[in-house]
Chains A and B, each alone.
Chain A
Amino acid sequence: MRKISVRVACFLALLLSYCSQPERAPEEVRVRLAVDPETLNPVNYSRAESLQIINLLFQSLLSADLGTNTIKPFLAEAMPSVERQDSITLFTYEIRKEAEWTDGSPVTAQDVAFTLKVAKAPLLNNESLKPQLEFIKDIRLDAGNPQRFTFVCSGFAPEMELLTGDFFILPAYLYDPENLLLHLNVADLHNGQQAVAQDEKLKTFAAQFNTPAFGHDPRLLQGSGGYVLENWQNGQYLTLTRKKDWWGNNTSNTQHLTANPQRVSFQVIPDITTALLALQNRQLDVLENIPAHEFEQLRKQESFLKDYNLHTPDAYDFYYAGINTRNPKFSDKRTRQAIAHLLDVNNIIQVSQMSYATPTVGIIPPSVKEFYNSNLQPINHDANKASTLLQEAEWIREADGWFKNIDGKREQLTVEVIYRAGNTNFENAAAILKQNASHLDIPVQVQGEESTLLSSRSKQHNFELYFRSLSGNPFAFNFKPLLHTAYAGMGGLNYTGFGTSESDSILDKISGTVPDREQQAVLLRRLQEIMQEEAAIIPMYYTKERLAVHRRFTNTKVSGLKPGYDVSAFTLKQE
């Protein structure tokens, strides 16, 4: 017995002896991932985590530079030249001369054509990219310059320029060494010819391409980016190492093409609580999306601040409430305005974001000063005003609530609030709305819905009020699919049914003719006014990103754009 006790004691001692934290290599950046990226296939990824990593392996023609929050040419030499013809638009690009693949061969227009074929071909697992490149009808290669080419796109929209550059270019030599797709052409694939699906070579290629290897194998995940995949322990961690002599480091005056840290290691830590503890143990160098309350606590910890910088850049996540205007109870805009007055945005921000958010009057981020309508007054919590508005909308207050005759039926004013189950921000907002409405005897029923159910209810217009968020950006402001009445039908993105003839014409103008930015600003400001008046979409706030970065790094390019920093730019501070 004694022997066993000794053994148990030894075991415990062994455990405790290992409880000191492991040493860290200084040139490595350690980042948290909330979930395993699952696949790194540059054509068929679906998670933001995958995108963050693929961005270090592969490159697109254009991309956002987080240092300046602007779109910059990455693989392209410069922004494309645009030429509009009747029903088509031409975008002409030239790829950087020095750009090369891992094996040293240059990136050419052929690679771009190959990528388009992969995106458009049938049989391949390309469902997530295919709809996005639907508007590119064809590619024209320049006979004289192997790195110059032109996209032929149908119609025109202001975001097209951005979209033509927004997909990863694949290495044809690596993905298709037997040239199985060479004989196909982009225009045929675009037109969806039946014969193509029977093509034997394509079938062979599909059989290869659809294997998981194209999303996992380090030998295949080699693009023109500065890093290669070194190790991937599923569900635990994933490391990238810098290429030995990457071409991007040799280009002059391109601050945004970087690959500085020797190694980037991504740790999969699903639970934010555990991630925070890891950060406090100095086991992570960067952590984004820190819950507001924890962030506030970190801010007070002297010892933590010695090692980490805290940042709160303005993010582009728009949080709003949407009211179904088709519902007879809410078809009067004064009723909707009354609800807007009950929302109490400031309190919601205080509770769920601890003031790390900016209230907004409209859909444009307040940080985009050029277009934000600063003349509008935000709608504040005002129960009296709400009650006046309800009376104007012909609701009559009785002992047990508000009533109105709608289509001959006596209806009570009740609100059913839905949001995505598990989202505490919305849960809090709904609780506050419920509390404020209860003072006016308006019963509010709150239900968190599973995301599939929520989107099907929104699509089928089977809701009264929902809370949602919208991920925005500072680059393009074409709200037509979101706000135009042409998209208010079943399945369209205009779930609330917002729209007046004036707002429709504004949206048409913004998406059609290219006005100068000044004129665009006038239109967008007016749009915000109309939206506030209509109160179908009640804007609440834009969040601030909350992140911590270790102090030993500079040039972190902290930004409101996701993921909030550019890990490839991190450089060690010179001590």
Chain B
Amino acid sequence: MRHLWHSILKLWRSKWGFRLALVYLLLFVAVALILPWLPLPFSPSMLDTNHTFLPPLSAKAIATGHWLGTDGLGRDVFTNTLFGARTTILISFPVMLLATALGLVMGTGAGFWGNDKLKLRRSTALAGVLASSAALYYGLYLPLQLRQLESGSVYIAGALAVLLVLLLILGLAAIILQKKRNFWSTAIRIPVDAVVMRITEAVTSVPRFVVILVLASFVPPSLPILVLLLVLTLWPDVARLSRAEMARIKQLSYFEAGRSMGTPPVRLVWRHALPNLVGPVLVAFTFGLGGLLALESTLSFLNIGVPSELVSWGRIIAGVRSNTSAWWLVAIPGTALSVTILALYTCSHYLSITFGLKRHS
């Protein structure tokens, strides 16, 4: 961690581009977070139907206080751009965090265990498979079905109770089976690496945009579902990166030493691998965030998977469709979007130079 901090500090001192981008991003986040408490003259959904499609800096715009113009309903473009930034952060940041966390877990797992380091007893593996299918049925399918019932909570509680009992029985059965030396107590190798790689290949075999487009058409537009979809399609990037890094770190001598001394895997990874992973992952994080911003605005422009009331940059841009001459509806949020992405890419670029990584897409 200290290493990371030092590198950033060094970058900050030596590169003015990095400094500029970072200051912009920090300001951007700060403004977006405290936005609801800022004394703005307009609220994002406030309509001024007498002043629609005001061009920015026109006499009328300045007179009415809409410096950067208004859209078709007289909503202030400036306020909407600010609130669009807030939405963008509130969606993209958690999505990228979740995706990074998921990717990190999968990637380090795959890199650490490889194809033959994780061994499980047959009984444990069987109990695991049975337990997860039981959890799917009683923990997910049934509650979803029973949710609409009148006294649904009673039924759901019942389902969860059944699940608990089943899990206990499975656990006990697994332990009993392990006691004796028999078919069930022999260990089998779990090819973690192969499984994770197959999953990432499956997820990335179809372009992300197509996957989201197709999946979003099957569910009603809502933020949690959109977040879930984005996370599920974004994690493989981080997973690949951290797997490769993990594989590299595994070869390092101090890691080998720690391993041979019998340090528990979790501690080993936490102590030795993660600090080395932080740099590359941070690069992937900032870069991925930039791509995510573009993706999110495209989705809200196409009105796919996004609730219609959400203030977003994509929605402002979509306003140009009803009036082609309102160029500012593209230019202003477009600039904000591009500059933010530029700042993220700049940070990512300098960080990657520091950590000696090649830029990747």
Contacts and interface: CB of A to CB of B under 8 A. Distances in A.
A450 B221 contact: yes
Contacts of B308: 421, 427, 446-448
A297 B323 CA distance: 9
A277 to B, nearest CB: 7
A297 B325 CA distance: 9
B325 A351 contact: no
B220 interface: yes
Nearest to A422: B303
Contacts of A448: 221, 303, 307-309
B52 interface: yes
B303 A351 contact: no
B47 A432 contact: yes
A453 interface: yes
B73 interface: yes
A446 B321 contact: no
Interface string A314-348: 00000000000000000000000000000000010
Contacts of B220: 449-450, 453
A19 to B, nearest CB: 19
Contacts of A450: 220-221
B276 interface: no
B221 A428 contact: no
Nearest to B50: A350
B322 A293 contact: yes
A279 B200 CA distance: 48
A351 B52 contact: yes
A297 B322 CA distance: 12
A421 B303 CA distance: 8
B221 A421 contact: yes
Interface in A411-454: 421-422, 424, 427-428, 431-432, 434-435, 445-450, 453
A277 B49 contact: no
B18 interface: no
A434 B47 CA distance: 10
Contacts of A347: 49
Given A448-B308, A450-B221, A351 B322 contact: no
B322 A424 contact: yes
B319 to A, nearest CB: 9
Contact of B49 (A421, A432, A453): A432
A218 interface: no
Nearest to B315: A427
A449 B303 CA distance: 11
Nearest to A344: B49
Nearest to A453: B220
Contact of B45 (A271, A291, A434): A434
B324 A351 contact: no
B223 interface: no
A456 B1 CA distance: 55
A536 interface: no
Nearest to A274: B324
Nearest to A354: B52
Contacts of B46: 435
B314 interface: no
Given A272-B321, A446-B308, A447-B309, A293 B45 contact: no
Nearest to A432: B47
Interface in A241-296: 271-273, 276-277, 291, 293-294
Interface in B294-336: 303, 307-309, 320-325
Contact of A276 (B74, B303, B324): B324
A448 B306 CA distance: 10
A52 B131 CA distance: 59
A434 B73 CA distance: 13
Given A421-B221, A421-B308, A432-B49, A293 B323 contact: yes
Given A447-B307, A450-B221, A431 B321 contact: no
Given A447-B308, A447-B309, A293 B47 contact: no
B72 interface: yes
Nearest to A271: B321
Nearest to A417: B309
Contacts of B285: none
Contact of B53 (A293, A435, A447): A293
A293 B72 contact: yes
Nearest to B308: A448
B72 A351 contact: yes
B31 to A, nearest CB: 25
B50 to A, nearest CB: 8
Nearest to B303: A422
A275 B32 CA distance: 38
Contact of B47 (A294, A435, A453): A435
A277 B321 CA distance: 12
Contacts of B325: 297
A271 B74 CA distance: 24
A291 B309 contact: no
B17 to A, nearest CB: 32
B47 A291 contact: no
Interface string B83-100: 000000000000000000
Interface string B208-220: 0000000000001
Interface in B18-76: 45-47, 49, 52-53, 72-74
Contacts of A277: 324
A435 B45 contact: yes
A271 B220 CA distance: 24
Interface in B259-308: 303, 307-308
Contact of A351 (B45, B49, B221, B323): B49
A276 B322 CA distance: 11
A351 B321 contact: no
Contacts of A434: 45
Contacts of A351: 47, 49, 52, 72-74
Contacts of B53: 293
Interface centre among B53, B74, B307, B322 (most CB of A within 10 A): B322
Contacts of B323: 291, 293-294, 297
Contacts of A428: 72-73
Nearest to B222: A447
Interface in A432-482: 432, 434-435, 445-450, 453
Given A351-B72, A421-B303, A446-B308, A431 B45 contact: yes
A422 B315 CA distance: 11
A110 B309 CA distance: 56
B322 A291 contact: yes
A53 B303 CA distance: 30
A140 B73 CA distance: 59
Nearest to A297: B325
Contacts of A432: 47, 49, 73
Contacts of A445: 309
Contact of A273 (B45, B72, B321): B321
Contacts of B309: 445-448
A69 B307 CA distance: 41
Contacts of A431: 45, 47, 73
Contacts of B45: 431, 434-435
15 contacts: A272-B321, A277-B324, A293-B323, A351-B49, A351-B72, A421-B221, A424-B72, A427-B308, A431-B73, A432-B47, A445-B309, A448-B308, A450-B220, A450-B221, A453-B220
Interface of A: 271-273, 276-277, 291, 293-294, 297, 347, 350-351, 421-422, 424, 427-428, 431-432, 434-435, 445-450, 453
Given A271-B321, A445-B309, 17 more contacts: A273-B324, A291-B322, A293-B72, A293-B322, A294-B324, A347-B49, A350-B49, A351-B49, A424-B72, A431-B45, A431-B47, A434-B45, A435-B46, A435-B47, A446-B309, A448-B308, A450-B220
Give the 6 A-B CB pairs with smallest separation, nearest first.
A448-B308, A293-B323, A351-B49, A291-B322, A446-B309, A435-B47
